[in-house]
Structure 1
C-alpha cells in the first residue's frame, strides 16, 4: 500500500503487456481468490510493517505460492519471510528518510526477481538499469537547488503547476504508472491534489472537466455583463484553473491514442486550458520511467517549498496509517 502500491504499478508497466503471463498489482489485504500454488507472489513494503503486505505474504504461504519479499532487513516482513522460507531481498534503510523515497530501492529488486523468472524482454536487462541510473543522475544535476530556474525542468514544472489543478493523463501503461507516482508525490511532498487518467479511457470519462468549473467556465468567469470593471481587484486572488499535463511515450503509443492526445491538446487550447506535454526519454521502459518519475519527484519537492511546506513529514499519513481500534461493542 502507499508507496509500495506505486512500485507494483510500475513493475507491471516495465514488464509490459506482451509478457506471457499476467503481472498484476494487489493493494489490499490477503490475496485474490484466483491466486494459487502455481503463482509467484512478490510482497513489497518500504517500512516492512505494512499490515496489508504481511497478510498477503501469510496468505501466499498458506496457499503454497512461491514468495519473494522486498523490504528492510530485521523487519516484520523479513521475519515472516524467513518463517515462510521465502526469498527475501533486503532494501537499505536510511534513518529519517520517508518510505516514498525508496521507490527505486524497492522497484529494482522486484525487477530482478521478474527477470530471473524470464518475464522481462532483453531490452530491460542490466544495461537498462544502468541507463536509468544515469538518467536519474542527469536529472539530479539539472534539478539541483543551485540550478537557475530556466535550467531546472523541475522548477519550471513546479511553477506551471502552482495555482492550477493538474489533470495528469498518461498515454501508455508506462506513463500511467509515472502519473500515478507523480500524483502520490505531489500529495505527499506538496500537499497538492491532482486528477489522474489514462488515454483512451480518460477521453470519455474525464473530458467533461475541460468544460467544467475549472476549465472553460472558469476561463469565462468574471467577463459577463454583471462584471464591475471599476471594482477593487487588489484583494482578489487568481482562480484555480485546470492544467492538462500529458505524459507521452511516443515509442509505445497506439496510433489512435496519439491522435487522441493531439485532439486533447487542441480541445484544451480552445477552452483556454493550459497544457504541459512531457515525453518519456530513453530506449528501455526502465529508462523512460525514470525520466518521468525523477522529474516529478523533484517537482513535487520544489512545489512544496514554494508553498511554504516541509516536504518530509506527512502528519495526515501518520494519522490514517494507524486508526484507533473501535472499543468493545462499538460498530
Structure 2
C-alpha cells in the first residue's frame, strides 16, 4: 500500500474506491443532527425531569456510542452539578444505584457489553434511557423496564452515526438542566457540519479542501494527537479512532496537561528524527494539536511551549482550532474535519474506508 496524494483529486478513484459510501455518510452529519433531535423530542426525553435530577449520569456504549459519553461530559463542562462518566465494559461499578441515570447508547442495539450494562442498571433500579434501533435487544430491555427509548436507525457503519447517537443524549441533558442547548444551538451545529461538508466535498481540490489537506499532512507519519480542553480532547480521541477504523492507520491520542508529563518525551526519540539523506524515508512523528477557546491558562502555555519544542526539533506540526459559541458547535467544527480527513487518508492509500475485517474477525474469534 502506497500513499499517492493525486488520488484525492481523481473523482473516478474517489467513487470507485469508496463503494460503501463513507464520504456520503460523513456528508450526512448535519441531517443526523436534525433527525436525532427530532427523535429525542418525539420520544419524550423531557419525561426524565419527572424522575428528578440523578445523582450521577453514566453513559454506556462501545466505540462511537461510547464517545457520546465523552462528548456529553465535554459539552456540559466543569460546572455541571453531578458526575458524568462513560462505561465501555461489561460491569457496572458497585456504587451505581437507584438514584443514578444510565444512558445506554448503541448504533446496532446488540453489543453484548452495552446490553449487559443496561440489564444491570434495571436490576439495580437505576433510571434508564436507551438510544438504539427499534426491534433490537437493547430496546427490549428498555421496553421491559418501562424506560424511555429513543429510536434511531443508522444508515451505514456505526462510526458514521456519531451525531445521530449523540444528539438525543444532549437533548436529554438539556431537559435535565445539565447544559443549555435550545433548538437554535442544534441548528447552528447542523450549519457548521454543512459548511464543512461543502468545503471538504470530493470535487473540491486538495489545495483548498481542508479534509484532503489534513489527510496529506497525516500520511506517512505517526500522528500524536492532543486536545487542549475537554471539547478538544473528545475531538482528538475521535480523530484517533477514525484514523484507526476508517483509515486503518495508527495514531496516538493524548490530552494536555497530561501529555506534557509523558508523550512529549517522544519528541526526543527515534521517530522524531528525520534523515534527509536516507534513500528510503521511514514514518516520522507528527504533532497534531486540537485547541479550543476554553483552555486553562496553564494549558495554553503548555500547548504553545509544546508546539515550539516540536518545531525546534523539526517535528511537523498540524494545528486545528475549534470555532463557535457553544461547546457543541466547537466540537462539531473539529469532528467534522476529522471524519473527512480519516476517510481521505484511506482513499489516498487506495483502501476502502468502510469495511473493518479485523474487528469482525476478532468478534468472531471471541464468540467461538
| TM-score w.r.t. length of structure 2 | 0.81
The structure whose Rg is larger is: 1
Identify the residue that residue 7 of structure 1 maps to in structure 2. 68
Cα distance, 1:323 vs. partner? 2.8
Deviation at 1:147, TM superposition (A): 0.4
Q: How many residues align?
A: 307
Match of 2:26 in 1: none
**Any conservation in 1 of the 2:200–2:210 contact (CA below 8 Å)?**
yes
Distance 1:247 1:256 in 2: 16
- Matches of 1:187 and 1:324, distance apart in 2: 20
How far apart in 1 are the matches of 2:154 and 2:260? 41
* Match for residue 165 of structure 2 among 98, 106, 110: 106
In structure 2, C-alpha distance between the alignment counterparts of 1:7 and 1:300, rounded to whole Å: 19
Residue 113 of structure 2 is matched in structure 1 by 52
2:33 maps to which residue? none
Structure-to-structure mapping, 1:88-99, within 5 angstroms: 88-94=149-155, 97-99=156-158
- Say which is worse superposed, 16-25 or 124-133, in terms of deviation: 124-133
1:298 is aligned to 2:359: no
> What is the match of residue 270 of structure 2?
213
Aligned match of 2:329 in 287, 293, 301? Answer: 287
The alpha carbon displacement at 1:30 in A equals 2.5
Deviations 1:86-135 (A, max 9, x none): 100011232xx101011000000111111111111x3x332211111000
Q: Distance in 2 between matches of 1:24 and 1:203?
A: 24
Whether 2:288 is the aligned partner of 1:245: answer: yes
1:135 pairs, out of 192, 198, 207, with: 192
Q: Which residue is 1:229 aligned to?
A: none
Partner of 1:329: none
Q: Do the aligned residues in 1 keep the contact of 2:322 with 2:334 (CA within 8 Å)?
A: yes
SS of alignment partner, residue 214 of structure 1: helix
Tell me the TM-score normalised to structure 1 length: 0.90
Q: Equivalents in 1 of 2:239, 2:197: separation in Å? A: 17
Which structure shows the higher helix fraction? 2
Matched, 1:148 2:205: yes
Q: Which runs of 5+ in 2 are unaligned?
A: 1-61
- In the TM superposition, residue 208 of structure 1 has moved relative to its aligned partner by 1.0
User: 1:205 and 1:36 mapped to 2: Cα distance?
Assistant: 36
**Cross-structure match for 1:161:** 218
Q: CA deviation at 1:325?
A: 4.4
Where do 5+ consecutive residues of structure 1 fail to align? 224-232, 327-331
- The aligned residue for residue 311 of structure 1 is 353
